[in-house]
Chain A
Amino acid sequence: MATIHVDGNDYEVEDSDNLLHACLSLGLDIPYFCWHPAMGSVGACRQCAVKQYKDADDDRGMLVMSCMAPVKDDAYISIADEEAKAFRETVIEFLMVNHPHDCPVCEEGGHCHLQDMTVMTGHDRRRYRFRKRTHRNQNLGPFIAHEMNRCITCYRCTRFYQDYAGGEDLGAFGAHDNVYFGRVTDGTLESEFSGNLTEVCPTGVFTDQTHSDHYTRKWDLQFAPSICQQCASGCNISPGERYGDIRRIENRYNGDVNGYFLCDRGRFGYGYVNRKDRPTRPECRESGGEARTMEVDEALDLAADRLRGAKRIIGIGSPRASLESNHRLRQLVGAANFSTGIEAGELARIRRMEALNREAGLATPSLREIEQCDAILVLGEDLIQSAARVALSVRQAVRGKGAELGAERGIPEWNAEAVKTIAQDAGHPLFLATPDATKLDGIATHAGRLAPDDIARLGFAVAHALDSTAPVVDGLDEETSQLAGRIADTLLAAKKPLVIAGESLGSMAILEAAGNIARALGRRQRSDAGLTLVRREANSVGLGLLGGESLDWAMAQLEQGDADGVVILENDLYVRLPTSRVDSALGRAAAVVVVDHQRTPTWERADVGLPAGTFAESDGTLVSLEGRAQRFYQVFDPSYMRPDTRIRESWRWLHALHATLERQPMETILLDDLTQAVAEDAPALAPLHQNTPEAMFRIHGLKLAREPHRYSGRTAMRANLNVNEPRAPVDLDTPFAFSMEGYAGYREPRREVAFAWAPGWNSPQAWNKFQDEVGGHLRAGDPGVRLFTAAAVGGDYCSEIPAAFEPREGEWQVIDLPQLFGGDDMSRRAEPIRERMAPPQVALNQADAAGLGIGAGDAVSIAVDGTRFKLPARLSAGLPPGVVGLPSGAIQEVTGGLTPGVMRWGQVAKAEHDSQASAGEARP
């Protein structure tokens, strides 16, 4: 620690920080642009100048850029100094030379860091009277709008895009006052993290194109703290709503999880909430006829009648629904009749992963902790595709080597360009073993291309190399053996090694191999090592912890006639099991009740369909892949703007259905009660008690506002429906109010922040005010409850090691290759994501393709699991011979139902007749 004297006051600060970081952390305001809490200092914008004095007697001092000045004990500085203030104002005036006067039509307006900083410096009059420099803009694809005239050349975009996220197609061009940030030519930004440009850019150069299509000012949006539902990473988001539609998704800072950044699937995949074809009223379908909509009571009575007619009712839950909704379904049907809605193989793997997280002896790191790891082994996961935000953290872990090298030469980590100079291409070791090329290959020490069984064998060999009592891998070739030894040595030499595996290849063996490595590391006393196991869906972990049978079990119950009534919660069974199987099972059911928010093929099979809220219209709890239980909060009440809608939270529907079924009066139901019931029923979820009860949380007696206090138009926005303004919806379930009335400040501690705002700070940089130190943790603690606590080294080594993969004559192993865009069946329903999806292709080894006479783009006929379909070929140099890869998720639309994440054997041939396969052509 060091003491610094700022304008006559003394403060204790971290001596490893720079003055800007220290002062902002103290709550003092200094304007800045090029500095970013997650990206450090580069000294480009010169905005953060302060006066630094040699000692207490120095009354002249000199200007320094506070971002580039290290904290020194007994340093005297002044922010208020007149020369410093004048210079900061001048810098804004310089920036305004070319910045257009277009705030009224600029989509950044109202959450613009440049506006905030301009006001902060007091600059209000420009003396520049000449013509401004102008640029041409580029089409950067469906996500990002580009308006270069607004650029103030802070270099944050390229520093994020290239240095932080590893993108290569956005750069700085030109020089002097004609620097241009863009691509060589127009085209979709290739990075999976391009959306962060909208928040990294301090002004309106890069804005959210999806927001632009239905633009609303930030101050007119209603927000709630939410959790991204598009994968299992558990990123915190702030969705913004107006007129009953989600308008944009902003990052919500969580110091342990996503920090400042989201992936593009999470940020831009919200369109399914706004789909016009969503069911908004209950529907019933009688004896195969057209669906008929009805009122709530009728639907409940009808559903209850149907279910009463069944001899046994089972419930099929969902890993994309909240714990509360799943639990409410389980209560409705009884624990013995509850299915998690997860395919049997996947459920077994989810359970195994949970067991490994608890028993293998290694902790499950948070994303922030991943960034501090110094040696990483990834078995099987193409992380960019299967858990993109985890991949971004892995990148930072590799880059951590630069900070280490810098520290050896006295260069602090925040001195970003200097660290980059010293680091050059150095990185912490990263070993990847995947079937096909990944976008992390470029920073990997070694990127091996292996069939799933060989990935597992490599993992088992690493475990054996770490601990000779771990099972030996028979018949291992010399090269793999040496590689395993090298990986083992590297993991042992690291301070914080990390093993990552997961679910996307559907291989239990890979998980067991990761488990063996974890145990071996534990036995080598490396208890500081971490184990990250990637699940597919937002609540895969939660469903595993809640318990329940597999989807296959549920299908069998129906097929065998052991049950004939089924309630399906937010689950499209057709994306999980083959069409024929689902058809036959549902065909035998006497009553099918579906609660969902999308018109899925399963919904179309419902006798009674109950329109559920998405994450934006409901509250609930999800458990992320790091075992973090996090609540998402309802963003808006859908019936406020659309009185005809009958959308309700799934748990509310199920509660009502339960009461109707039992002919009981419906009791009031509160979210906290549900969460507590979950905690009581599932021992693994008992820590949820820590989060509840919450609904009565108040600050100064106030609820928390969902809307900024400048929210406008409340009395007018509904006038087309009724000139009488109705009472604002009441939220009994959470501490948040559907209103601008309520606490929205930053001074009082609160973990859940709907939108970050502080006086003078309208941009996402307002998070500074909520953090214990800038870029650190939220002052009231980062949201979420950790559920996994690693035990001491335990469990036995798994010795079921698969044989080495052997290509078969005339048969191919058909594996799923995870896809960020299109791999998730909800965001796949969002238009911009569809635009960004790669057309479905089958990946073939080049030599295999040549042997079959198949060239790139040729139609390939694939027969697998009794399904035959055609896809264009993509030739891969990496994919091992004998293996073909299908794009997971998106392939469902083509095949009409292959169980995802299952390795199967199938036939592959050049398609006869037509040379061009059209995507989506399937013959089940």
Chain B
Amino acid sequence: MSRILQSAGERRSETHPLTWRLHDDQSPVLLEEYLDTGGYAAVTKALEQYTYESLTEEVKGANLRGRGGAGFSAGMKWSLTAKGGDAPRGYIVCNADEMEPGTFKDRLLMEQQPHLLIEGMILAGYANRSKQGYIFLRGEYHLAAASIQRALADARADGWLGPDVRGSGWDFDIALHTGAGRYICGEETALINSLEGKRANPRAKPPFPGQSGAWGLPTVVNNVETLCNVPGIVNHGADWFQALSGDLSSDGGTKLYGVSGKVNNPGLWELPMGTTGNRILELAGGMRDGLALKSWLPGGGSTGFLLPEHLELALDFDTIGKTGSRMGTGLLTVVADNQSMVSLTRNLEEFFARESCGWCTPCRDGLPWSVKLLRALEAGEGQAGDIELLEQMARDLGPGKTFCAHAPGAAMPLASAIHYFRDEFERGITRPEGEAHADPIPVGSV
């Protein structure tokens, strides 16, 4: 197996807080080694030096933005969570349902360094006065499940989890829950419903999970990578975290960037937040021989396609946001010049159509229609008006028009693919508008 994590240079704790401990042979970092290398020091420090409020403030000050793709400030989320006073103790939930197409960063962290996640969750649990943590893990991540289970057992045996954590008088434990395989479970309220054993439909907000989440109790949902950043912030402080990105970005910290597609050297890199696409593509060894870059998705299937000229932009939430796309997870999917944008878009929309929970109309009934139109275009059986119809759908699946962000995410690659590569779509149109029976029912079918 080729290595997924790659390095641009030496990985050190001060510069590569997420990956510096990882082994070249990809074996997991076990408890003993983790402790020997300063692991759980942040928990000890927090229990001794921080109140839950001051810990929340520290993370807020670091401007740690959610690494699941939305980029919402984790510290802000924590500060909006009901705690203290009359508020009941609730839950810290790790969103480990990594199903964003083209994204494989959380998997690496969980398989190879589960204690970093557990340490981050303990800190988040402490800051939010949670009584219990849950790791909602994508079901197919069986290696991560095994790794996390062992790490949880080891941490519990060593007193980092369970009643009276390390003699602090504070109780906290973590359970692993493996999902049954729905993309929508990455949406935090759908995740909570699924965790409760209900249909994975997103919930109405308000109430936000921080007020009334899992089983009606205050609940914080953070992504794996986000939580893995917390120990470093506690160990080294908010200023250190901010400085990690230097002048590259107003957002602090490092980011696990990655590349998939027809490049010479696909993989993952921990780099300062705000590293440019050009630099990342360079680390990925550029396009394979004979291929040129046609387009790229900056961070998963639910982000908008960009052009080669956008590679010079800093990959951070705000900069990419200005292009009309989103940074998302920061794992680039590159599209070579011999790949069809229509097919690629059709493939993505098939995924999003299948993964719609079925709650709201535009998403449930619009996305499958878009797939059928894209299939028609792909097969050269498109009709005049199909592209305009797809454009209208992309608008009608936009933010505010659907119940959650699933359909707007699905609309992004659709709208951007048509915007930048309309000619490829037009080539699929061979029929006049309104021709009947483009999809005849085969004789003998039911």
Q: Least Cβ distance of A135 to chain B in Å?
A: 12
Interface 0/1 of A47-67, CB less than 8 Å to B: 101000000000000111000
CB-CB nearest in chain A for B403: A43
The chain B residues found within 8 Å of chain A, CB to CB, are: 182, 199, 203-207, 211-212, 215-216, 353-362, 364-369, 372, 383, 385, 389, 392, 396, 400-403, 435-439, 441
Q: Which residues of A contact B (CB under 8 A)?
A: 42-47, 49, 62-64, 68, 87, 90-91, 94-95, 97-98, 127-131, 133, 152-153, 155, 172, 174-179, 409-411, 415, 417-418, 421-424, 426
B385 close to A177 (CB less than 8 A): no
With a CB–CB cut-off of 8 A, which chain A residues contact B438?
129-130
B353 CB contact (under 8 Å) in A42, A68, A176, A410: A176
Residue of B nearest to A42 (CB): B204
A422 touching B369, Cβ below 8 Å: no
Given contacts A49-B401, A97-B369, contact A68 B204 (CB under 8 A): yes
Counting residue pairs across A and B whose Cβ atoms lie within 8 Å, the total is 118
- The 5 sampled A-B contact pairs (Cβ below 8 Å) are A43-B403, A44-B360, A94-B366, A129-B435, A421-B204
The 4 A-B residue pairs with the shortest CB-CB distance, nearest first, are: A94-B365, A424-B216, A179-B358, A176-B356
Say whether chain B's binding surface is mostly helix, strand, loop, or mixed.
loop
Specify which of B199, B205, B354, B439 is in contact with A130 (CB 8 Å cutoff). B439
A176 touching B361 in the complex, CB below 8 Å, given contacts A129-B436, A130-B439, A421-B204: no
B207 touches A409 (CB 8 A): yes
- A47 and B368 contacting across the interface, CB-CB below 8 Å: no
Q: Is the CB of A175 within 8 A of B182?
A: yes
CB closest chain-A residue, reference B355? A176
CA distance A739 to B353 in the complex (A): 52
Cα–Cα, bound, A176→B441 (Å): 22
Q: Are A46 and B361 in contact (CB under 8 A)?
A: yes
Please indicate the chain A residues that have their CB under 8 angstroms from the CB of B439 in the complex: 129-131
Interchain CB contact (< 8 A) of B361 among A64, A95, A409: A95
Contacts of B215 in A (CB 8 A): 424
Which B residues are in CB contact (< 8 Å) with A133?
Answer: 368
Instruction: Decide: B358 and A415 in contact? CB cutoff 8 A.
Output: no
Can you name 7 extra interface pairs (CB under 8 A) apart from A63-B400, A178-B358, A418-B204? A46-B362, A46-B403, A49-B401, A63-B401, A128-B369, A176-B358, A418-B206
- Structural contact, B369 and A176, CB atoms closer than 8 A: no
Instruction: Tell me the complex Cα distance, A94–B439, Å.
Output: 18
Q: Is the CB of A45 within 8 A of B360?
A: yes
Q: How far is the CB of B434 from chain A (nearest CB, A)?
A: 8
B residues within 8 A CB of A179? Answer: 358, 364
Give the CA-CA distance A153 to B358 in the complex, in Å: 8
**Residues of the B chain whose Cβ atoms lie less than 8 Å from the Cβ of A174:** 358
Contact yes or no, A176 B354, CB < 8 A:
yes
- Given that A153-B364, A418-B206 are known contacts, is A176 also in contact with B357, CB under 8 Å in the complex? yes
Contact for A90 among B364, B372, B396, B436, CB less than 8 A:
B396
Residues in A whose Cβ lies below 8 Å from that of B207: 409, 411, 418, 421-422
Residue of B nearest to A127 (CB): B389
Contact B361 A87 (CB under 8 A): no
Give the residues in chain A near B364, CB-CB below 8 Å.
Answer: 94, 153, 176-177, 179
Given contacts A42-B204, A43-B204, A176-B364, contact A421 B400 (CB under 8 A): no
Q: Which among B216, B359, B361, B437 is the interface contact of A91 at CB below 8 angstroms?
A: B361
- Once the chains are docked, how many angstroms separate the CA of A128 from the CA of B439? 11
For residue A198, give the distance in angstroms from its CB to the closest CB of chain B: 22
Pairwise interchain contact A175-B369, C-beta atoms closer than 8 A: no
Closest to A175 in B: B358
**Contact of A421 with B362 in the complex, beta carbons under 8 Å:** no
Q: Which residue of B lies closest to A98 (CB)?
A: B365
CB-defined contacts of B435 to chain A, threshold 8 Å: 129
Contact for A43 among B206, B358, B360, CB less than 8 A: B360
Bound CA–CA A90/B359 (angstroms): 17
A90, A94, A172, A417 — which one has the most chain B CB atoms within 10 A of its CB? A94
Are B203 and A418 closer than 8 Å at their CB atoms?
yes
Q: Is the CB of A177 within 8 A of B204?
A: no
The smallest C-beta distance from B139 to any residue of chain A, in angstroms, reads 15
Are A422 and B216 within 8 A (Cβ)? yes
Chain B neighbourhood of A424, CB < 8 A: 215-216
**Assembled-state Cα–Cα distance A98/B369 (Å):** 10
Closest approach, in angstroms, between the C-beta of A254 and any C-beta of chain B?
31
A95 to B366, CA, bound (A): 9
Residues in chain B near residue A98, CB distance under 8 A: 365
CB distance from A421 to the nearest CB of B (A): 6
Q: Are A91 and B362 in contact (CB under 8 A)?
A: yes
Question: Which chain A residue has the least Cβ–Cβ distance from B389?
Answer: A127
- The answer for the CA separation of A90 and B356 in the assembled complex, in Å, is 18
Q: Cα distance A87–B393 when bound, in Å?
A: 10
Contact between chains at A177 and B403 (CB < 8 Å): no
Which of A128, A133, A423 has most chain B Cβ within 10 Å?
Answer: A128
Partner of A94, one of B211, B359, B369, B436: B369
